[in-house]
Structure 1
Amino acid sequence: MNFVNKYGKGILICLLIAIPSWIIGKMFPVVGGAIIAILAGMIIAMFWNDKQNAEAGIKWTSKVILQTAVVLLGFGMNLGVIFETGKQSLPIIICTITTSLVLAWVMKKVLKVPSNTSILVGVGSSICGGSAIAATAPVIDADDDEIAQSIAVIFFFNVLAAIFFPMLGKALGFDTMHGDAFGIFAGTAINDTSSVTAAASTWDSMWGLGSATLNKAVTVKLTRTLAIIPITLGLSFIRAKKERQASNFSLKRAFPMFILYFILAAIF
């Protein structure tokens, strides 16, 4: 009963957005239900001032439901395929993460961006968006303003990616008979898992590929997400060395446990 009181209103609101969005997405597959839901949520948020009672449920849905869906996706995937995809995409992932982090450092110097904000935007855009920011923020002692600014930047580009990546994929001439090319593209280039699944699902809907692109994109994205661990470890050690004090790094906090459950589901 406490769960219903705390989370019920927010979960219900998300459901009321999700169901019509899913139906409309089926009618207009080129857009996709996930993108419609994102845009609907943004419009509602503009006019809805009293979100306090629903905020906990919305956050619970956006985190727990999304991660549970990814875990359930693992039951339909072969573990050998997961490792093969990870191995195939690893060089691309390393190159994109390195490039993104270097660019974040260069832009920090050029634009005089505060150090913590630059680090959070860098790890958020190169690894996995909000999850990377949440894992990194305590390590570098980022304040609420720095976290809010970086999340706003990442979310803005997430929305753009979810909307325009399927169009970009078509313009670039990606194979429409299989989802591998676009799946790797989306999994390595889009920040948050939610926007990766949105873009990949839209591509599947556009070309009638079932969940082939989604499977590929999510696997690549989860492989990329594992970079949270060495990045946060490195930042933790650097900060500890600078301040000559024990780091507050927590492996449990940094490691996205839903990845482990995804792998266990694939093994099962």
Structure 2
Amino acid sequence: MIFKKYLVVVPGIILAFVLYTLSQGLNNIIGIEILGYAKSPISTAMIAILMGIILGNIFKMREGFLLGLDFTQKYILKLGIICLGIQLKPFEFLKFGTVAIPLIIVCIISVLVVIKLLIKKLKISTKMAYLISIGSTVCGTTAIMATAPIIKANKGEVAYAIANITVFGIISMLIYPYFANIYFNGDPMYVGLFLGTAIHETSQVAAAGLIYDQQFNSPETLNVATVTKLIRNTFLIIMIPLFAYLFNRNKTKKNNYSILDIFPYFVLGFIGMIIFRNIGDQVFLTENSQILWQHSVTTIKDSAKVFLSMAMAAVGLSTNLKDLKSMGYKPFIVGLVAMVTVGLVSIIAMQTFTKLFL
């Protein structure tokens, strides 16, 4: 019975893997065969999500595929992020964190203030503003879904907010790696911090970091972006109670929520993989064991990129461009302002905090 339950997700997972494989093949044809590079300068993750968006909006996805695509976006993505931990050392995690935490706090406060002022002018619902705010500042769709029942948002408000975050997250995911490379002169620390704080979804940050790594050969940027986003995700356990208090402070009935239900546990898996890598580096010291260990590390690194690219293909296939029509211009403006605000604040704050902490 349990086997049958999980078997239904297989078609969607296979579809995501096939699209990843096609993207990798197309990437090699364009970058190596046509352009003549030894290694393609084009990002497989970018091709995967763009192909997914095109195919997903030309063909209607069957229910059997949607279940697997959803599984890929949620769980295979997290598996890919956990595997990325194999590239890091503990002191690097702490180094990035000392800069990322104050940067994240400033970005969250700035966006909340700007949206608070903006909704007075546009007169959109408070619930909608809360959902867009937490989606823009913390962790996208996950934050929206966790906040919705706390503030009793209806399905229409949730759908609007998710469409908003998805649209602007994809735009920033595709543009910011190239913008950041130019603006920060290819500095991996600055670029990674910017991508980790300025892009909404965990999947979008992972994709942007992977795009940057594949385009500019900078695995450190992918590491910094991932660590920054994972730290940012943990702020959900602060923001949910805060929003619950703000929304219910004048009401007699309070909503119940559980920290255990909203904590992003895959962050612990990521940290565990960092520890695993560093234990392995200390244990496997002989020449033969080192060769085997390094091969294992390389395999996990490569697997992480495959999993992330599959997740990007699934995101693309699940993105319905018709949602743009249903958003309306007011939430669209709020989402645009939130995206621009978090990007600008990230740049300004980053240049301040990196001078203090680095």
For the 8 Å contact 1:229–1:254, the answer to whether it is kept is: yes
Paired position in structure 2 for 1:175: 185
Amino acid at match of 1:90: I
Can you list the C-alpha shifts for 1:103-139, whole angstroms capped at 9, x where unaligned?
A: 2212211111111111111111111111211221121
1:117 aligns to what? Answer: 128
For residues 62-112 of structure 1, the C-alpha deviation after alignment (integer angstroms, 9 at most, x for no partner) is 010011111111133112211221111222211111111112212211111
Distance 1:23 1:140 in 2: 46
- What is the RMSD of the two structures over their aligned residues, measured on CA atoms? 1.8
Q: Partner of 1:2 in structure 2?
A: 4
Change (3 A) 1:4 1:250: closer
Cα contact 1:79–1:267 (8 A) shared by 2: yes
Once the two structures are aligned, what percentage of the paired residues are identical? 29
Please show how residues 63-212 of structure 1 align to structure 2 within 5 Å.
63-172=74-183, 174-176=184-186, 178-209=187-218, 211-212=219-220
User: TM-score normalized by structure 1?
Assistant: 0.92
| TM-score normalised per structure 2 | 0.70
Q: 2:238 aligns to what SS in structure 1?
A: helix
Report the CA distance shift for 1:25/1:116 in structure 2 as closer, same or farther (over 3 A). farther
Report the more deviating stretch, 28-37 or 71-80.
28-37
1:246 aligns to 2:257 (yes or no): no
CA distance in 1, matches of 2:42, 2:120: 38
Which of 4, 19, 22 is residue 20 of structure 1 equivalent to?
Answer: 22
Distance in 2 separating the partners of 1:47 and 1:213: 34
* Secondary structure of 1:242's aligned partner: coil
Question: What is the rounded CA distance, in whole Å, between the counterparts of 1:50 and 1:256 in structure 2?
Answer: 29
Alignment: residue pair count: 265
Q: 1:124 to 1:76 in 2, by over 3 A?
A: same
Q: Note the alpha carbon deviations across 1:210-247, whole angstroms, 9 max, x for none.
A: x2110010001111111111110111223343322232
Which amino acid in the other structure matches residue 56 of structure 2? A
User: Per-residue CA shift, 1:1-46, capped at 9, x if unaligned?
Assistant: 4145410111111111112223434555555122221111211221
| C-alpha distance in structure 2 between counterparts of 1:162 and 1:49, whole Å | 24
Q: Which consecutive unaligned segments of at least 5 residues does structure 1 have?
A: none
Q: Provide closer, same or farther for how the CA distance between residues 138 and 79 of structure 1 changes in structure 2, counting only shifts above 3 A.
A: farther
Decide whether the 8 Å contact of 1:117 with 1:147 is kept in 2.
yes
- C-alpha separation in 2, matches of 1:227 and 1:4: 31
The 3 A distance-change label for structure 1 pair 111 and 257 is same
1:248 counterpart SS class: coil
- Counterpart in 1 of 2:233? 225
Which structure would you say has the larger Rg? 2
The correspondence for 1:49, drawn from 60, 76, 81, is 60
Per the TM alignment, residue 50 of structure 1 is displaced from its structure 2 partner at its CA by 4.5
Residue type of the alignment partner of 2:245: F
Structure 1 contact 162–198 (Cα < 8 Å) conserved = yes
More deviation in 27-36 or 63-72?
27-36
Alpha carbons 2:81, 2:206 under 8 Å: kept: no
Change (3 A) 1:123 1:25: farther
Distance 2:227 2:114 in 1: 25
Equivalent in the alignment of 1:262: 270
Q: Measure the CA separation in 1 of the matches of 2:27 and 2:96.
A: 28
Indicate the SS of the match to 2:47: helix
Unaligned 5+ segments in structure 2 are 32-39, 277-358
User: Which amino acid in the other structure matches residue 194 of structure 1?
Assistant: S
Task: Report the Cα offset of residue 47 of structure 1.
Answer: 2.1
Q: Which moved more, 1:242-251 or 1:19-28?
A: 19-28
